[in-house]
Structure 1
Amino acid sequence: MPSEKTLLGNLPPDPRGFVGRQDELGWLAEKLEPGGGTRLVTLVGVGGVGKTRLALRAAERVGAVYPDGVWLVELSPVRAAGQVPLAVMEAVRLSDQSAGSVAEALGDWMSDKRLLLILDTCEHLLTDCAALVADLLAGAAGLHILVTSREPLDLPGERTLEVDPLRVTDAETLFVQRAGLVLDATARRQVADICRSLDGIPLAIELAVARLALYSLDKLHELLSDRLRSRFDVLTRDERSVDGPPRHWTLRTTIGWSHELCAPLERLLWARLSVFADTFTVGAATWVCAGGPLRADRVADVLMHLVRQSIVLRHPTDLDRFRLLDTVREYGADWLRELAEGDAVRLRHRDHYRRFAREACADWNTSRQVAWCERLLAEHANLRAAMDRALDEPASRAALEMAGTIGFLWRHCGMMRDAARCLDLVLAAEHEPGADLVRALWSRSAVAINQGDLDPACRWARRCADAAREQGDLTMIAATAYVTGSTAVLTGRTAEAIDLLSAAPRLPLGADWQGSAQLQVRIALCFAHLLNGAIDEAREVAEQARADSVRCGEQWGRPVIDGLIAQTDLARGDVETAQANARAGVVGSRLTHNTVGTALTFDWLVAAVVAGGDSRRAAGLEGISRRLWERVGRAQVNSPHLIAAREARERLLRDRLGDQAYEEAYAQGMAMPYDEGLDYALS
């Protein structure tokens, strides 16, 4: 077992280098050291002044003293109230899928850990951020939190650092570094003038440097001096006071100068792009933003013009995706309101992601499944924003369709809490019977099954089955057998489960969500046979299900089938094949971000290792399993059979190793980060 502990965290790389702020970094290093006198530090300053980059650089310096990681939570895409805890959970990669409070689940997970949490861009969520920070700090003694915001949280013990603009010399260094210039005396004076006129605000300097692609330094100096002076002159005292101190309207004026230099179509696209909650593709921008003078065939070219001016940025690792900085997005949103287009463009945004989810569900049970998983993760913030727009009218047809499709997809990619939230809000309203209602009820029941929330799962399953029978569609009836049969399996009613699942109509598997649900019926039937001790029947069903999965090309259900086949291998005494099949199950579930599937197949791999006699390794794997189930939320999805199997493995390993050796190996497994633990198990 590896002896070195990998440093956890999700800090992004910064290939551009860092300029200045050495005093601030020293102060932060002192305050962020454990025992440094405070556990909550807030960096306060105007938009664009460099709070985020300072926070990341400081965290990078002190990261080694936090054995449980340094985690960045980007809150700018979060808009709806109550979603801050969920954003934190996603950032720390805790895929807790239980049905309780998110904040409580976070507190429980952090209670014995020493980590640094960075909450970035909190100003639009101050109340929610303050409430969560207070709760987490009270329950997790090893937690330190670094906040960036335009205002402090105003909590007891909070230490604030006002992030000022760069000193003149540092601002000049930043300009020259970004521009790649070699300066003579005249050029140096021009750069100094430009940096002073921009008040040393890094974002303003970056935007000015981008203009060097179009203008010489002489021309930039002339334009910037004239335009900024004229814009400041026309700002009235009342206008200036609205945004607070001069640095607020300095930045706004500087962005306004960049806006004025944009062509009319560039300004229009900038405004419309502000509806995206996070990154976007050219295709999404075209679908959402085209219209009027901005023809669809012009969107890509206009977008590239904005990229050249640094108004729009390319994603650092996925060059097909783009984003707006928060302050630039805010300016665009202001112009969208001025154009009176906000509602219309947000509706197009909603409808684009409504179509996206519909297409994903229709194509889910195919070889494109993994690609859909990756796209869903990349579009998570936009899907959430589109769903929130639909939830403005929870009784609408659009809300019902989107809750069913997006909820189905989120359930399969481990985003149970998002799915449960939108489905609960929509299903609380009255809806006409139909296929959309069946899919929404199926998804809600399936989410509850994964959360181990079995009483509600049974209620949703009954409603789903009733709605499907009312439709009279055999494919729907076959699909709903999964939720009724699985709830019976997990609540210990194995014989009833076998009857329900065996009675489901056997139809060819389609490419859509119903085909996937029908495959899951067969998976659940195999599991029920195993629990009933009917190994031959379980093997027959599993092999048929695997053949169906291979024909479809799907990869979400197949790993679970591999794990179940491993169980039948063990029952037949073929330990080596059992280990190979269980490893295949873990690999496949990991690929599709199926956290419950990963934890289940991992437990079946542990059982195969126990059977192979490598008891110390098995004890370490049990510790890793505990970490996996922590991410899920409810160990062994509250199934009595699965819990009993885990307890039996532990008793056997303690008998073989002795308590002390077992606990040492178990603790080593528990100490491994998620990915390192999986890599070790699969090695």
Structure 2
Amino acid sequence: MSDKTTGGRPGNPGNLPADPRSFIGRRAELDWLDKELDPGSGVHRLVGVVGAGGVGKTRLVLRAASRFRGVYPDGVWLVELSPLHTEGLVGLAVLEALRLADQSTRPVIEVLAEWAEGKRLLLILDSCEHVLADCVALAEALLPVLPGLRVLVTSREPLGLPGEWVLRLDPLPVADDAVALFADRAAAAAPGFVLDGGNRGTVESVCRRLDGIPLALELAAARLCELSLDQLHARLGERLPSPLDLLTSDDLDAHDETGPTRHRTLRTTIGWSHELCAPLERLLWARLSVFAGGFCLDAAEEVCAGGPLPAARIESLLARLVEQSIVLRHRTDPGRFRLLDTVREFGADWLRALGEEHAVRLRHRDHYRCMARAGYAEWNTGRQVAWCERTLAETANLRAAMDFALAEPDPRTALAMAADVGFLWRHCGCLRDAQHCLDLALAVDPASGPDHIRALWARGAVALLQGDLDVAADWAARCADAAKKQGDEVGMMAATYVTGTQLALRGRMSEAIEMLAAAPRLPAREDGFGAVQLQVRLSLAFAQLYGGDHDGARVVADEVRRASAENGECWAGAIGDFLVAKADLDRGDIGAAARNARTAIAGNSLLHNTVGAAVSLEVLAAAVVAAGDGHRAARLLGIGETLWGLIGRAQLDSPDLLATRRAQERRIRDEIGDKAYEQAYDEGRTMPYEEGLHYAANAT
């Protein structure tokens, strides 16, 4: 079977994770997928791998797709859907997986279709069964208009669309692959274990009792760290206690068209693993089921502790669950943990049976509510980058906690949380999430107060970045009115920022300058409103710069950079670097423009601000062109093409930026020739995202 990864371009994009575990069996299934996923031979553009939970669907498709990393020039992309708990988020999950920094209010399908037009890529929708209707709608909308798109899905049932090619994944054959998988995992759990003639019969019997289901085999093999093979075999034959009957009843399997008997076998095996756990391990397992996407130790200690389970015991109990393969370490972050869907579902059933679901979800909400409040309180400090990383890592949990808060009869708590979470999401690029939670929280119209003002400001600030200027102006007016009634000077400044910025973005520079320059200069704060204070000055510098006052803009932007450095923050400082670089370029100081643009790119990269990095790269490319290095400038334009492609709006649809971009290209072609330009440009365009930004930030 050939390895397809050798045929693609260098730097091919994608986000497939590495799997450190060995892959056993499935040769025929891999051959089928190899043919169907090959753009040169496959005839089906929608392929579904369908099977019961735990049968190995995800590992199979990841193994198959990894062979095509170099074949699809625009990438092989994994979209993990299991963390989603509400409808309507599948498209957003695809945007996030593709790293599209869309900053508009357009329908997600429209954004995806526009970005993918003319591209060739493979999209993997993993774990579709609980959001099946959304996945069907996505495939129905995109496949007819994007001939270069192939979609590979895993689910417990097919999407049911015309032209869908379905591979129904059965358990592993017992005599061969199931035994090999069990032996491999047994050797990992119990070093020294060797499959031989003396124990093969027992191993085959174990595999047969487990129906050859991979997850069941792995859970059983993990028990060999404390049981002998004979003890394991004997325990599998024991009758499970009656509480498990509740968890394997017919109603749990009624929706599973892939085979209720096998589904019951898996749940019985999980129940057997559950029965072998110590009581506190079982309790922790149940409580961990409230996490979405993953969790870290400190979150588990705070959310899961209580009653007979002290926080001090959770670290050791979590380690035990990892040893037993109940809990897995995160694929890319060893400090985070996750539960497989079927294992999490089992734990959630037990949590409901214990009558603890609401209480534990309440603690989950409060943990992430406090996390968001701390992030807001420390945003204008040296902790800012760490808070950005944590916000992005915990997006699934923040969504789940925010949804729970909005569903509770406590509008004040929901509003306070939305103000904090919406602020963080706004600054970390999650604009659609921010808009959603703020709109729902503000719709309740609670009594005015500090949280209400913060939420009003955050909603207006989100609209600014989305380019929805009329909406931004409306929220700014509401914020100003609420702040004035309460005598909140900082709240009034926040409203001024939104109003003044939307004026500048409309091209009404003199009005914007007058309003923003009149904002009071209050002592800088460390929280989110401290960030607003810096952003008022940034907007003033922007209006001055594009209003023709280059020297005045540089003075104000330099002031922001100094304040940013004093506070240790990065978000405002990186934008200040961009504005200073642009002012330097306009004044003819090419060396300073290049230095400051590189600094701006590095700062924006730390906060995953693709738009900030892209506009800064435009300035750098112009400076490099002016300095006479055409080859490097062409590479930078190629890198910029990648960034603008992720944003979805080339040069933000600005006529000035587009004209500047075209002028740069003409100048480079004149200097180095068309052939050299195309080669250097393609070198930049095919660099992976991080590599391209590193190259730009360190170009000398």
Q: TM-score range by the shorter chain?
A: over 0.9
- Alpha-carbon distance between aligned partners in 2 of 1:236 and 1:156, rounded to the nearest angstrom: 33
Deviates more, 1:201-210 or 1:604-613: 604-613
Q: Does 1:74 align with 2:89?
A: no
Q: Does 1:252 align with 2:258?
A: no
Match of 2:185 among 175, 178, 189: 178
Q: Which residues of structure 2 form unaligned runs of 5+?
A: 1-7, 188-192
Match of 2:34 among 29, 33, 36: 29
Tell me the residue number matched to 1:520. 535
Q: Aligned in 2, Cα 1:36/1:6: closer, same or farther, shift over 3 Å?
A: same
- The letter of the residue matching 2:63 is R
Tell me the residue number matched to 2:392. 377
Q: Does the 8 Å contact 2:625/2:633 carry over to 1?
A: yes
Q: Does the 8 Å contact 2:253/2:263 carry over to 1?
A: no
Q: Does the 8 Å contact 1:395/1:430 carry over to 2?
A: no
Q: Does the 8 Å contact 1:579/1:609 carry over to 2?
A: yes
Tell me the residue number matched to 1:417. 432
Q: Aligned in 2, Cα 1:239/1:523: closer, same or farther, shift over 3 Å?
A: closer
CA shift at 1:620, angstroms? 4.7
Q: Aligned in 2, Cα 1:147/1:543: closer, same or farther, shift over 3 Å?
A: same
Q: Aligned in 2, Cα 1:233/1:99: closer, same or farther, shift over 3 Å?
A: closer
CA shift at 1:665, angstroms? 6.4
- The letter of the residue matching 1:100 is R
Q: Deviations along 1:558-601, whole A, 9 cap, x unmatched?
A: 11111111122223322112101101100110111122222222
CA shift at 1:223, angstroms? 1.2
Deviates more, 1:95-104 or 1:595-604: 595-604
Give the secondary structure class of the aligned counterpart of 2:520: coil
CA shift at 1:172, angstroms? 0.8
Q: Does 1:274 align with 2:289?
A: yes
Tell me the residue number matched to 1:215. 227
Q: Does the 8 Å contact 1:279/1:315 carry over to 2?
A: yes
Give the secondary structure class of the aligned counterpart of 1:447: helix
CA shift at 1:496, angstroms? 0.9
Q: Does 1:305 align with 2:332?
A: no
Deviates more, 1:155-164 or 1:472-481: 472-481
Q: Does 1:493 align with 2:493?
A: no
Q: Deviations along 1:498-556, whole A, 9 cap, x unmatched?
A: 11111111012111001111111111111111112222211221221111111100011
Q: Deviations along 1:36-89, whole A, 9 cap, x unmatched?
A: 110011001000000001101111123322111110111000111000000011
Tell me the residue number matched to 1:202. 214
CA shift at 1:653, angstroms? 4.0
CA shift at 1:227, angstroms? 4.1
Q: Does the 8 Å contact 1:7/1:67 carry over to 2?
A: yes
Report the TM-score, using the length of structure 1 for normalisation.
0.94
- Alpha-carbon distance between aligned partners in 1 of 2:354 and 2:609, rounded to the nearest angstrom: 43
Q: Does 1:91 align with 2:106?
A: no
Tell me the residue number matched to 2:190. none
Q: Aligned in 2, Cα 1:252/1:387: closer, same or farther, shift over 3 Å?
A: same
Tell me the residue number matched to 1:50. 56
- The letter of the residue matching 1:27 is W
Q: Does the 8 Å contact 2:457/2:479 carry over to 1?
A: yes
Q: Does the 8 Å contact 1:395/1:431 carry over to 2?
A: no
- Alpha-carbon distance between aligned partners in 1 of 2:22 and 2:613, rounded to the nearest angstrom: 38
Q: Deviations along 1:121-166, whole A, 9 cap, x unmatched?
A: 0001111101101111111101111110000000010010110101
- Alpha-carbon distance between aligned partners in 2 of 1:63 and 1:667, rounded to the nearest angstrom: 18
Deviates more, 1:146-155 or 1:105-114: 105-114
Q: Aligned in 2, Cα 1:510/1:233: closer, same or farther, shift over 3 Å?
A: closer
Q: Deviations along 1:272-309, whole A, 9 cap, x unmatched?
A: 11010111112111211112221222222222221221
CA shift at 1:11, angstroms? 0.9
Match of 2:67 among 58, 61, 68: 61
Q: Aligned in 2, Cα 1:539/1:272: closer, same or farther, shift over 3 Å?
A: same
Q: Deviations along 1:213-261, whole A, 9 cap, x unmatched?
A: 1112221121122247999999999579646531010001101101111
- Alpha-carbon distance between aligned partners in 2 of 1:443 and 1:637, rounded to the nearest angstrom: 22
Q: Does the 8 Å contact 2:544/2:552 carry over to 1?
A: yes
Q: Does the 8 Å contact 1:228/1:254 carry over to 2?
A: no
- Alpha-carbon distance between aligned partners in 1 of 2:539 and 2:60, rounded to the nearest angstrom: 51
Aligned length: 678
Alignment of 1:264-413 (within 5 A): 264-393=279-408, 396-413=411-428
Q: Does the 8 Å contact 2:51/2:57 carry over to 1?
A: yes
Q: Does 1:651 align with 2:658?
A: no
- The letter of the residue matching 1:107 is A
Alignment of 1:141-180 (within 5 A): 141-168=147-174, 169-180=176-187
Tell me the residue number matched to 1:10. 15
Q: Does the 8 Å contact 1:166/1:200 carry over to 2?
A: yes
Q: Aligned in 2, Cα 1:609/1:454: closer, same or farther, shift over 3 Å?
A: farther
- The letter of the residue matching 2:225 is A
Q: Aligned in 2, Cα 1:438/1:596: closer, same or farther, shift over 3 Å?
A: farther
Match of 2:138 among 132, 148, 173: 132
Tell me the residue number matched to 2:200. 188
CA shift at 1:681, angstroms? 2.8
- The letter of the residue matching 2:60 is L
Q: Deviations along 1:622-672, whole A, 9 cap, x unmatched?
A: 44334323323444445xxx5314314423642663696778866665555
Tell me the residue number matched to 2:590. 575
Report the TM-score, using the length of structure 2 for normalisation.
0.92
- Alpha-carbon distance between aligned partners in 2 of 1:665 and 1:15, rounded to the nearest angstrom: 36
Match of 1:462 among 448, 452, 477: 477
CA shift at 1:14, angstroms? 1.4
Q: Does the 8 Å contact 1:207/1:311 carry over to 2?
A: yes
- Alpha-carbon distance between aligned partners in 2 of 1:236 and 1:670, rounded to the nearest angstrom: 53
Q: Aligned in 2, Cα 1:62/1:547: closer, same or farther, shift over 3 Å?
A: closer
CA shift at 1:409, angstroms? 0.4
- The letter of the residue matching 1:292 is G
Deviates more, 1:644-653 or 1:574-583: 644-653
Q: Does the 8 Å contact 2:625/2:668 carry over to 1?
A: no
- Alpha-carbon distance between aligned partners in 1 of 2:598 and 2:362, rounded to the nearest angstrom: 45
CA shift at 1:4, angstroms? 5.4
- Alpha-carbon distance between aligned partners in 1 of 2:250 and 2:529, rounded to the nearest angstrom: 60
- The letter of the residue matching 2:362 is L
Q: Deviations along 1:162-182, whole A, 9 cap, x unmatched?
A: 101011111111111112121
- The letter of the residue matching 2:59 is R
Q: Aligned in 2, Cα 1:236/1:476: closer, same or farther, shift over 3 Å?
A: closer
- Alpha-carbon distance between aligned partners in 2 of 1:249 and 1:558, rounded to the nearest angstrom: 57
Deviates more, 1:622-631 or 1:561-570: 622-631
Q: Deviations along 1:407-457, whole A, 9 cap, x unmatched?
A: 110111111111111112222231211111111121111112112222222
- The letter of the residue matching 1:435 is P
CA shift at 1:107, angstroms? 1.0
- Alpha-carbon distance between aligned partners in 2 of 1:534 and 1:107, rounded to the nearest angstrom: 40
Q: Does the 8 Å contact 1:84/1:128 carry over to 2?
A: yes
- The letter of the residue matching 1:454 is L
Q: Aligned in 2, Cα 1:133/1:233: closer, same or farther, shift over 3 Å?
A: closer
Q: Aligned in 2, Cα 1:282/1:142: closer, same or farther, shift over 3 Å?
A: same
Match of 1:587 among 596, 599, 602: 602
